[in-house]
Amino acid sequence: MNLKFYSQTPSKLSFLIALIFWAGTALGSDQNVPERIKAIIGASKSGSFSVYGEPVYCAEAVREVYSNAPYPIWNQRRAEEFLSYVALSHLDGLIPTDYHLNSLTKAINPWPYEEERLARIEIALTDAFLLFTSHLLHGKLNPETLHPIWDISLADGNPKALLDYYRSGAPFEEILRAATPKKAEYRFLKMELYYWSQLQDQAWEIISIPESFKPGASHNQIIKIRRRVAIISGLPIAEFTLGANHSFYDSTLVNGVRKIQELHGLNPDGVIGPKTMRALNLTPAERVKMIKINLERWRWLERNLGDYYIHVNIAAYRLDLIDGGNKISTHRVIAGKPARQTPVFSSTMQYLVINPTWTVPPTILSKDVIPGIKKDPNYLSKKGIELYNSRGERVLPEFVDWTSPEAKRLIYRQPAGPDNALGDVKFMFPNKYSIYLHDTPSRSLFTQEDRALSSGCIRVQYPLKLAEILLDSENYSLPRLQEMVSERITRTIRLDRKPKVHLTYLTVEGKSDTEVYFLNDVYERDAAVWRGLQSTPPLL
Flag whether 168 is in a domain.
yes
| 153 in the same domain as 95 | yes
* Structural domain contains residue 535: no
List, for residues 224-245, the tens digit of each pLDDT value: 999 999 999 887 776 666 666 7
Among 58, 147, 311, 457, the one annotated catalytic: 457
Residue 51 sits in the same domain as residue 120: yes
Q: Quote the domain boundaries for residue 423.
A: 305-357+419-506
Average pLDDT, the chain: 90
CA distances to 199, 247, 482, 519 from 261, rounded to whole Å, are 21, 20, 34, 10
Choosing from 138, 147, 331, 438, which is the catalytic residue?
438
| 320 and 409 housed in the same domain | no
In terms of domains, do 175 and 80 share one?
A: yes
Q: Which amino acid is at 212?
A: S
**340 with 488, same domain?**
yes
Neighbours of 494 (CB within 10 A): 10
325 lies in the same domain as 338: yes
User: What pLDDT sits at residue 26?
Assistant: 30
Domain count along the chain: 3
Question: Is the pTM value of this prediction over 0.75?
Answer: yes
Instruction: Identify the band that residue 173 occupies on the pLDDT scale cut at 50, 70 and 90.
Output: very high
Same structural domain for residues 342 and 399? no
| pLDDT tens-digit series, residues 440-455 | 999 999 999 999 999 9
Assigned domain for 62 exists: yes
User: Looking at residue 320, which CATH number applies to its domain?
Assistant: 2.40.440.10
Is 50 contained in some domain? Answer: yes
| Degrees, nearest 5: CA angle 477-482-484 | 95
448 plus 317 within the same structural domain = yes
Task: Tell me: do 312 and 410 sit in the same domain.
Answer: no
Q: Is residue 349 part of a domain?
A: yes
Give the pLDDT band (50/70/90) at residue 3.
very low
Q: 457 an active-site residue?
A: yes
Task: Collapse the DSSP code of 458 into the 3-class scheme (helix H, G, I; strand E, B; otherwise coil) and give the result.
Answer: strand
> Is the confidence at residue 69, as pLDDT, over 80?
no
* pLDDT confidence tier of residue 46, bands split at 50, 70 and 90: low
In a domain, 189, yes or no: no
- 58 and 108 in one domain? yes
Supply the pLDDT for residue 20: 39
State how far the alpha carbon of 380 is from the alpha carbons of 100, 370, 457, in Å. Answer: 64, 9, 21
Q: Is the confidence at residue 74, as pLDDT, over 60?
A: yes
- The whole-angstrom separation of Cα 17 and Cα 15 is 5
Assess whether pLDDT exceeds 60 at residue 532: yes
Q: Is 147 a catalytic residue?
A: no
Cβ 136 vs Cβ 176: under 8 Å: yes
Tell me, yes or no, whether 348 and 374 share the same domain.
no
